[in-house]
Amino acid sequence: MEEANKYVKEFTQEKYKFGFTTDVHTEVIEKGLNEDVVRLISAKKNEPEWLLEYRLGAFRHWLTLSIPTWAHLRIPEIDFQGISYYADPTAKKKDGEIDPELLKTFERLGIPLNEHNALAGFAVDAVMDSVSVKTTFKETLREKGIIFCSFSEAVQEHPELIKKYMGSVVGYKDNFFAALNSAVFSDGSFVYIPKGVRCPMELSTYFRINAINTGQFERTLIVAEDDSYVSYLEGCTAPMRDENQLHAAIVEIIVKNRAEVKYSTVQNWFPGDSEGKGGVFNFVTKRGICEGEGSKLSWTQVETGSAITWKYPSCILKGDNSTAEFYSVAVTNHHQQADTGTKMIHLGKNTSSTIISKGISAGKSENSYRGLVRITPNADNARNFSECDSLLIGDKCGAHTFPYMDVHNNTAVIEHEATTSKINEDQIFYCNQRGLDTEEAISLIVNGYAKEVLNKLPMEFAVEAQKLLAITLEGSVG
Amino acid sequence: MNTATKNFIDLYTREREVIQSNSSEIINGLRTDAMLNFKKLGLPSRKLEKYKYTDVQKYFEGDFLTNFDRKPINYEPSEVFKCEVPNLNTVQAFLLNDSFYPTIDKKELLPKGVTVGSLSQMADRFIEWFAKYYGKIANTREDALVALNTALVQDGVFIYIPKNTVVDVPIQLINILSGDQSTLVNRRLLIMAEENAQVNILMCNHAVSAVDFLQTGVTEIFAGENAHINFYEIEETHSRTHRFNSTFVHQAANSVVQVNTMTLMNGVSCNNTNFHLAGQGAHADCNGMTISDKEQHIDNITLIDHAVPHCTSHELFKYVLDDKAVGAFTGMILVRPDAQHTNSEQTNRSICLTKEARMYARPQLEIYADDVRCGHGATVGQLDEKALFYMQARGINRDEARLLLMFAFVNEVIDKINIDPLKEHLHQLVERRFRGELCNCAGSALNK
């Protein structure tokens, strides 16, 4: 117990511990967005003609769109011309060496890029601002035929794969932010697991925004061939700044016959200070397709950061007998706003999906679950179970649930339930009696409440996520 | 602006004089504003979140006959049309399209002070009262359909129950749609039960002619402190009736209101039910049930607004969808800041019997207070195979077993009714409906 106490305290006493900045020479292009900027980014990455065309197509489409307003969010006006769309902290060194400052940064974040010191069983792609800094264990993975590299590298080395799969799940016409990302995306990760291979280690990408007045627009593409398996993790942080920073990413996952992909996110972008100043605007389009028969896709997310979160990791269950899961914990405190959830589109026969969402709101925050379960006419015997619970801490916050169920097939069985309640005072009292102060008690109860989801995370991440929950809720009582 | 919206604006501009001269001053008083709001909003398209599942514009297209110059009714409706509930004595009032029929059957059974009458006549008689209540909770700024009704409506029904009065006999309103060609009908109800009053109201909707009907309706219900109102609505029209109804309920402290909407036969129905719990200790009960087949379309939209602490609400909606029927349910529970100790529960269960039947469910919670208990549950599925097998094993044939299960499924809603003969009557109607027999309550020409 003392041990637990110590660590809760340790983490509740500090605010946002990743709020430092790295003083490193960063090449930042001019602010603003136009066709020339798109061309410039493409040229900097030495991209083939077809990719530039794709970007330009996306940009022209983006111009016709306006920012979506349907979410339960108050989004302040975003000046898309006031942002720089490309920042490269590695630009100074030409000989392939990495600035020691950068290595130090990732070390401070607990992400050693030196393979000797690395956590056993983890391969990392570290992305700072617009550029992938380093990808570890590339060689080890290559022996198995696994491709794990930065997106830009993949464009150069495996253009046929990128051309085939990029935009196949999230096209640039999908939505406003997907179009924006498709026009100006800078880097990200690419994962390819060949047929029958079980990836021996956890793959992960660490995203870091460092430069001021920039946005981060990364793209992740995961392709799992027949009978393969991969577990992929994503983590993110940003420095504390008074200005809002924009993050608009796309994640696409293709799961083929009997393959399984597990995608876990611990999102901890800077949430803004307790007055609601600053913070990252997080607008992310994540979608996977269970293309093959018997395939499985599982999303797990722990959302603790960002001033605004707009994120709906979705699954298209196209293959017969495919399975999809969505486990989410979203915590909001102070002035944070989150509108998150999932879409489960059942196309194949005998498909099943599970949604478990736990929302926790504290302070003056707003936390919404928004989800869609659609059973199309051909999806015989589809099955869905959804459970969305909200926990309210304090009387100034809001917790909302907006589920949609569209059923076009009479063999479907769809269940949805949601409850909203206050944190149990009896439980707090019980903890108080045993010498835990109220804040510790809340942290303990919330962790218990979110356990169902946290258990789905890989072990190291689960520990991290538990600590994060405690930090996010710090200052939510009294 | 779409053509349907434009047509209705033109209709209003053209007929304005006629509409006004055949209605009352108070009702006329709200028209201009309502029309401005209608112009601003336009008929909702499916892009509007609220009407996502019902293509409102489509049903407002076409030519409709109106009755703005109020032709007199030259027959006795109670003689040509019977809508009796067996073993139940009711005070019966008739609404023919949108005209109130002046003779009320068994009026003598009403306690002293209780008023049941034509909306426009009563508006002329109780000017001050009407100025205070008419159109006050049916907000025309947010919903184009409410705005359109407010702009076009001429008459309807007014029910007033004074303080401390208990009306033992249910008040039955029989709405009849009839006409020789496509007809537009705009109805309005205003119901007020003062402090400690109690009343049961039964509203039956029928269509007797085989033509298209477009009906807009607005019902405003005010429940005073500790008042009890039960409002049961049964729709038994036909496949060419398109109904767009909005009900607004305002509840003072400790009042109890139940609105129960049962759709047995219809074409397209969109029922919008809004509860505003404005006094502590109020309880809202919002129920609904539908049995739909062929190409019926039913969209129930509910909002329960918990504005003050210590209120409770309960919602139950059940759908049975056969053939190509489409069902939609949107239920929002809103708990405003400071509405602590709210207890709210919502359930929506649906059964799709065929592959073509479609169900859209949207149970929603919007909560801004922490010391509350709110929950919702929604399911879409089929009849329980195990239960069917169990009954078959005991000698009940499969069709009969299915019927029994469906019957039991919707009965949960019917059992919320607290008038026993009416409950019994509905049990029978529902059974006949499931068996595909004629519902003889109606005498409606088009029931199958």
Beta strands in A347-472 (DSSP E): 352-362, 366-375, 383-393, 398-407, 413-422
Q: Which residue in the set A70, A393, A414 is minimally distant from B379, CB to CB? A: A414
Is B391 domain-assigned? no
How far B324 CA lies from chain A's nearest CA (Å)?
10
pLDDT tier for residue B209 given thresholds of 50, 70 and 90: confident
Beta-carbon separation of A400 and B375 below 8 A:
no
* SS3 call for A381: coil
What pLDDT does residue B391 have?
94
State the smallest CA–CA distance between residue B18 and chain A in angstroms.
Answer: 42
Q: With contact defined as beta carbons under 8 Å apart, do A330 and A359 qualify?
A: yes
Of residues A349 and B441, the one with the higher pLDDT is A349
Do the domain assignments include residue B427?
no
pLDDT, tens digit (0-9, with 9 covering 90-100), for B279-292: 999 999 999 999 99
**Residue B448: is its pLDDT beyond 60?**
no
Per-residue pLDDT at A6: 54
Residue B101 lies in a domain: yes
How far does A378 lie from chain B, in Å, by closest CA?
9
B338 close to A (CB below 8 A): yes
Residue A478 lies in a domain: no
Residues of A with CB under 8 A from a CB of B: 70, 72, 377, 390, 392-423
Does residue B354 sit at the A interface (CB-CB below 8 Å)? yes
DSSP annotation string for A18-68: T--------EEPPB--SHHHHHHHHHHTT--HHHHHHHHHHHHHHHT----
- Nearest neighbour of B358 by CB, restricted to A407, A421, A422: A407
On chain B, the residues whose CB falls within 8 A of the CB of A72 are 366
Phi, psi of B35, deg, nearest 5: -65, -40
B340, B358, B374 member nearest A408 (Cβ): B358
pLDDT at A52: 94
Can you give the pLDDT at residue A13? 39
pTM: 0.87
Task: Give the model's confidence band at B440: pLDDT under 50 very low, under 70 low, under 90 confident, else very high.
Answer: very low
Verify whether the Cβ–Cβ distance A414 to B353 is below 8 Å. Answer: no
| pLDDT number for residue A475 | 65
pLDDT digits over B37-58, tens only? 999 999 999 989 899 999 999 9
Model pLDDT, residue B118: 94
Of B354, B364, B370, the CB nearest to A402: B364
Chain A interface includes B399 (CB < 8 A): no
pLDDT of residue A117: 53
* A-B C-beta contacts closer than 8 Å: 118
Q: Specify the number of domains making up chain A.
A: 1
**Taking CA atoms, what residue in A is nearest to B354?**
A410
Nearest to A400 among B354, B365, B372 (CB): B365
The answer to the question of residue B428 being in a domain is no
Per-residue model confidence (pLDDT) at position A83 = 86
Q: Do B364 and A401 touch (CB under 8 A)?
A: yes
Contact A404 B362 (CB under 8 A): yes
The answer to whether residue B438 sits within a structural domain is no
Helix (H) or strand (E) holding A152: helix A151-157
> Least CB-CB distance to B357: which of A392, A406, A410?
A410
Helix-helix angle A459-472:A2-13, to 10 degrees: 60
User: Is A477 a member of any domain?
Assistant: no
Q: Phi first, then psi: what are they for B113, rounded to 5°? A: 90, -15
Which residues constitute the domain of residue A308? Answer: 2-472
CA gap A211, A89 in Å, rounded? 8
| Residue B81 neighbours by CB under 8 Å, 6+ apart | B94, B174, B176, B206, B208, B443
Best residue of B47, B322, B338, B365 to probe chain A, by most A CBs closer than 10 Å: B365
Query: What sign does the CA torsion over A152, A154, A159, A162 have?
Result: negative
> What's the pLDDT tens digit per position in A310-341?
999 999 999 999 999 999 999 998 899 999 99
Cβ distance of A415 and B379 shorter than 8 Å: yes
Residue numbers of the domain that contains B128: 3-383
Give the chain A residue nearest B374 (alpha carbons): A420
Whether B444 has a pLDDT exceeding 50, the answer reads no
Looking at residue A93, its pLDDT comes to 53
Q: Is B411 helix (H, G, I), strand (E, B) or coil?
A: helix
Per residue in A53-90, pLDDT (tens digit) is 999 999 999 999 999 888 999 888 888 898 888 888 77
DSSP string across B7-73: HHHHHHHHHHHHHHHTS-HHHHHTHHHHHHHHHHH-S--TTSGGGTTS-HHHHT-S--B--TT-PPP
Q: Does B142 touch chain A (CB under 8 A)?
A: no
Q: What is the mean pLDDT of residues B242-259?
A: 97
Of all residues in chain B, what percent carry a pLDDT higher than 90? Answer: 78
Residues of B in contact with A407 (CB under 8 A): 350, 352, 358-361, 380
Interchain contact B439–A (C-beta under 8 A): no
Q: Which residues of A touch B347 (CB under 8 A)?
A: none
ipTM: 0.83
CB burial class (10 A; 0-12, 13-18, 19+) of residue A159? middle
Contacts of B373 in chain A (CB under 8 A): 419-421
Query: Is B323 near chain A, with CB under 8 Å?
Result: no
Which residues are CB-contacts of B393 (< 8 A; sequence separation ≥ 6)? none
What's the pLDDT tens digit per position in B54-94?
999 999 998 899 989 888 877 777 777 778 888 899 999 99
Counting the structural domains of chain B, the total is 1
| Predicted local distance difference test score (pLDDT) of residue A95 | 54
B155 pLDDT band (50/70/90 cuts)? very high
Taking contacts as CB-CB distances below 8 angstroms, the residues of chain B near A399 are 365, 367
Contact A405 B352 (CB under 8 A): no
B355·A70 Cβ contact <8 A? no
- Asked whether A297 and A261 are in contact (CB, 8 A), the reply is yes
Q: Helix or strand or coil: residue A202?
A: strand
CA B370 to chain A, closest CA, distance in angstroms equals 5
Query: Is residue A86 in a domain?
Result: yes
Inter-chain residue contact B355 with A419, CB threshold 8 Å: no
Is B388 contained in some domain?
Answer: no
Q: Calculate mean pLDDT across residues B198-206.
A: 95
Shortest Cα–Cα distance, B319 to chain A (Å): 13
Q: What is the pLDDT of residue A115?
A: 59
Query: Is B381 in Cβ contact with A412 (below 8 Å)?
Result: yes
Q: Does B355 contact A409 at a Cβ distance shorter than 8 Å? A: yes
**pLDDT above 50 for B447:** no
Q: Closest residue of B to A406, CA-based? A: B360
- Nearest CA distance, A333 vs chain B (angstrom): 14
Would the CB atoms of A410 and B352 count as touching at under 8 Å? Answer: yes
Task: For residues B403-407, give the mean pLDDT.
Answer: 92
One digit per residue, the tens of pLDDT, for chain A of length 478 reads 455 445 444 443 346 767 777 777 777 888 889 999 999 999 988 899 999 999 999 999 999 999 988 899 988 888 889 888 888 877 655 555 667 777 777 777 766 666 555 555 667 777 777 677 677 788 888 888 999 988 988 999 999 999 999 999 999 999 999 999 999 998 888 999 999 999 988 888 888 777 777 788 989 999 999 999 999 988 877 777 777 888 999 999 999 999 999 999 888 888 888 888 888 899 999 999 999 999 999 999 999 888 999 999 999 999 999 999 999 999 998 899 999 999 999 999 999 999 999 999 988 899 999 999 999 999 999 999 999 999 888 888 899 999 999 999 989 999 998 888 888 888 889 999 999 988 888 888 888 888 888 888 877 777 777 877 777 777 665 4
Under 8 Å between Cβ of A407 and B380: yes
